[in-house]
Amino acid sequence: MKVWCATGNPGKLREFRLAGSVLGIEIEPLPDLKSIEAPEETGATFEENACLKAAYYSRFAPGILFADDSGLEVDALGGEPGVLSARYAGGAGDDANNELVLERLGDNPHRTARFVCVIAVAEAGVVKATFRGTVEGEILHEIRGGGGFGYDPMFYYPPFGCSFGEVDGERKFAVSHRGEALRKMLGWLG
Ligand code: ITT
């Protein structure tokens, strides 16, 4: 089976393609995504944004397409960065986003956080289903490891005893928010 994936984030795409090869499904990036004007992510929730992206991009796909909206929720920051995760530091990139979270958290000992991923599946502009995955962890006092993308290097995952920036993609995907959401989607697709 082949499904199309709409994301402009190379880190997400890498994880989806790796998962596809492990789970035996062809996950193809939507061709020419860069030439399609991106929709504004105006939703207040991950679900709303995932649906908005999937519905929009599926009009350009020859079959079933999915998009994910994902991010980091830090409890002591009232759930921020949340849906603003990609542009928390005003679009200045991953390093600046990480620094801003660390700065806002300061020495606060309450450092629990989770990654959330919502995948929406759509065909010809119509959303068919959504799937949510989460993974619980803690925010480190400084970044650790150069792997992964986004907030991975400061996200400590207790069962591994290290950050997501210190593990390879396959190990992360086995426990991650994105892995959980994708496995639910594959179960639904049959
Ligand atoms: P697309 O909308 O094109 O897919 P995006 O990066 O703008 O790309 P989102 O709006 O869903 O996607 O924002 C997701 C952000 O949340 C991402 O840029 C990271 O900063 C963060 N994030 C999500 N999943 C992550 C993960 O597995 N590891 C680290 N950071 C993650």
- Walk along the chain (190 residues) and give the pLDDT tens digit of each residue: 899 999 999 999 999 999 988 888 899 999 889 999 999 999 999 999 999 999 999 999 999 999 999 999 999 999 999 999 999 999 899 999 999 999 999 999 999 999 999 999 999 999 999 999 999 999 999 999 999 999 999 999 999 999 999 999 999 999 999 999 999 999 999 8
Task: Provide the pLDDT for residue 105.
Answer: 98
Tokens at 56, concatenated = 């929009």
Does 85 contact ligand 1 (Cβ within 6 A)? yes
Task: Provide the pLDDT for residue 47.
Answer: 98
Length of the chain: 190
Q: Please state, rounded to an integer, the average pLDDT across all residues of the chain.
A: 96
Residues 93-144: pLDDT tens digits?
A: 999 999 999 999 999 999 999 999 999 999 999 999 999 999 999 999 999 9
Residues β-bridged to residue 3 = 27
Residues β-bridged to residue 163 = 156
Q: For residue 78, give every residue at least 6 positions away whose Cβ sits within 8 Å of its Cβ, in sequence order, or none.
A: none
Does 28 contact ligand 1 (Cβ within 6 A)? no
Say whether 52 sits in a helix, a strand or coil.
helix
How many Cβ atoms from other residues are within 10 Å of residue 181's Cβ? 25
Nearest-CA residue for ligand 1 atom 8 is: 9
Nearest-CA residue for ligand 1 atom 4 is: 7
pTM across the whole model: 0.97
Which of 117, 151, 160 best tests ligand 1's pocket when mutated (most atoms within 8 Å of CB)? 151
Does 71 contact ligand 1 (Cβ within 6 A)? yes
What is the residue type of 55? A
Among residues 69, 94, 107, 152, which one is catalytic?
69
Go through the domains of the chain in sequence order and give each one's CATH number. 2-189 (3.90.950.10)
Residue percentage of the chain with pLDDT more than 70: 100
Task: Provide the pLDDT for residue 86.
Answer: 96
Q: Give me ligand 1 centre to Cα 62, in Å.
A: 25
Helical spans, DSSP H, in the chain: 10-23, 46-58, 94-105, 169-175, 177-189
How many Cβ atoms from other residues are within 10 Å of residue 183's Cβ? 16
Rounded CA-CA distance 151/190 in Å is 32
Task: Provide the pLDDT for residue 89.
Answer: 97
Does 9 contact ligand 1 (Cβ within 6 A)? yes
Does 133 contact ligand 1 (Cβ within 6 A)? no
What's the sign of the alpha-carbon dihedral 29, 35, 39, 40? positive
